[in-house]
Amino acid sequence: MPFRSYAVSASPAKHGDGIHLLITSDGAGGVGIHTETLAAALQARGHRVTRACWGTPSPGWSAAGADLLLPGPLEWESERDLPALEASIAAGRATLAHFAAHAPDPIDVLHCNQFAWAGAVPGVPSVVAAHSDVVSWWRAVHGTAPPANEYHRWYIHLVRQALEQAAAVVAPTQAALADLRESYHWQGAATVIAHGSDFPTAATGGSLGMPRAERGNERQCRSCAANRSPPSSDQHRGPQRAAQGWQRERPSEKWRATTRPRQGAVCAGRLGDAGKQAHLLLQPGLPLLVTLAGTPPPGVGRGRTNLPGVHYAGPLGRQAMAELLARSRIYVAPSRYEPFGLAPLAAARAGCCLLLNDLPSFRETWGAAAYYFARNDGSDLRRWLQRLAANDALAAAGAAAAHRRALALSAPRMAMAYEALYQQISPGVTTPA
């Protein structure tokens, strides 16, 4: 498939100031959200950003803000037609190289959010951000290595080649980096930079949207979570005081606190992906309404499912998702493969209590600021939903702890970490004052 490029002026900045970045993205979900957030934060720091969005246009495909559009199947979604995928990637690499060669201002760094583009621009260092990968996903979902077929052999070679070509490799968590090393038998240098978010935050300094009856107890809730958390085992400890050293951010965008009680639970994302394990929520008799948002799990259509306690809302835009989270009590992440988890971060910023599958990546990111159900255990997930539905103080403590932690995972913090990395691999670039 030939690639078409649509050249649009890169983000405005004074010539000679800052770093000029060519960042690849895609329209499939979290990578696009991450790229948009990072680009905006880097622009706010005075850097120039050109975005290249990869993917096959479809009803769910979004390339908002892209300067280059690279239509074609993503490296993980075209197993059945490998020759066409290879041709598309070759054409895409040529497009990136051509754009960089004719850009009005030289490209300083190629930031690759997919493995396929590493080294695509000659003479320009590549950063490879390893958000997820096929082999680690397969191991997490199926419990074994993927089949040794032609596609998986090609994909493993692609990833190893990208890791070797990169001037810097980034993972969003130590857990994701460990998966990458084990899946590809790679031991090179790498940096962990946690994702950041600019998703609207709940109103600070008070209710987080809690009903009035709960607000008077909030001071008590902030210190009582560990005591009120069911003492089933140490591994299920609930939110406690935020660890010292977590940076606070004054939110630039706030949602009005509501006098209505927060109700129900939410789970969002590409729910048709087996790694999201949405079927754990498709069980009868849940103690509160669970709303599923995003692509549908297998067998689920729009509107109410055949389960009275589960509602499928379909894909939602940012505003609709913000409104849903602002009125929801709990965000549930049942994923069995999640290198980081942008959806829980958005939910925590919006004031939701977090109930997460007990994965190393979630523990690393949230620590004591979330509740965890026993790994992949639908029965324990149900028990936790019952506890949080019945105990307002427990849910309020979880929401407050998750909100504090989420404010530390800010977009400006993420941009500053990447800025420092760019300067390491391209020392001639300057940082705006």
pLDDT digits (tens, 9 = 90+) for 187-202: 999 999 999 999 988 7
Instruction: Strand 330-333: give its sheet, edge to edge.
Output: 303-304, 310-314, 290-295, 265-270, 330-333, 353-357, 371-373
- The per-residue pLDDT for range 317-345, each reduced to its tens digit, is 889 999 999 999 999 999 999 999 999 99
- The per-residue pLDDT for range 207-232, each reduced to its tens digit, is 343 333 333 333 333 333 333 333 33
Gyration radius of the chain over CA positions = 22
Domain boundaries, the chain: 20-196+412-425, 201-409
Mean pLDDT to the nearest integer, 6-24: 60
Could you tell me the two tokens for 104? 């009005």
The secondary structure of residue 99, as a DSSP letter, is H
- Are 395 and 300 in contact, with CB atoms under 8 Å apart? no
- Provide the 10 A C-beta neighbour count for residue 281: 25
- Provide the 10 A C-beta neighbour count for residue 429: 17
- The per-residue pLDDT for range 223-270, each reduced to its tens digit, is 333 333 333 333 344 553 332 222 223 333 443 444 457 899 999 999
Bridge partner list, 295: 270
Residue 305: predicted pLDDT: 64
Residue 296: predicted pLDDT: 87
Task: Provide the CATH number for the domain formed by 201-409 in this structure.
Answer: 3.40.50.2000
- Are 180 and 139 in contact, with CB atoms under 8 Å apart? no
- DSSP per-residue codes, 150-199: HHHHHHHHHHHHHHHH-SEEEESSHHHHHHHHHHHT-----EE----B-P
Bridge partner list, 192: 171
Element (H, E) at 225: helix 218-228
Average pLDDT taken over every residue of the chain? 82
CATH topology classification for 20-196+412-425: Rossmann fold (3.40.50)
Domains 20-196+412-425 and 201-409 share a fold: yes
Q: Is 255 helix (H, G, I), strand (E, B) or coil?
A: strand
- Are 97 and 83 in contact, with CB atoms under 8 Å apart? no
Could you tell me the two tokens for 369? 């600021």
- The per-residue pLDDT for range 172-181, each reduced to its tens digit, is 999 999 999 9
Residue 417: predicted pLDDT: 97
- The per-residue pLDDT for range 86-142, each reduced to its tens digit, is 999 999 999 999 999 999 899 999 999 999 999 999 999 999 999 999 999 999 999
Q: Distance between CA atoms of 99 and 22, rounded to whole angstroms? A: 10
Cα-to-chain-centroid distance, residue 429: 29
Which of left, alpha, beta for 105 (phi over 0: left; psi -120 to 50: alpha)? beta
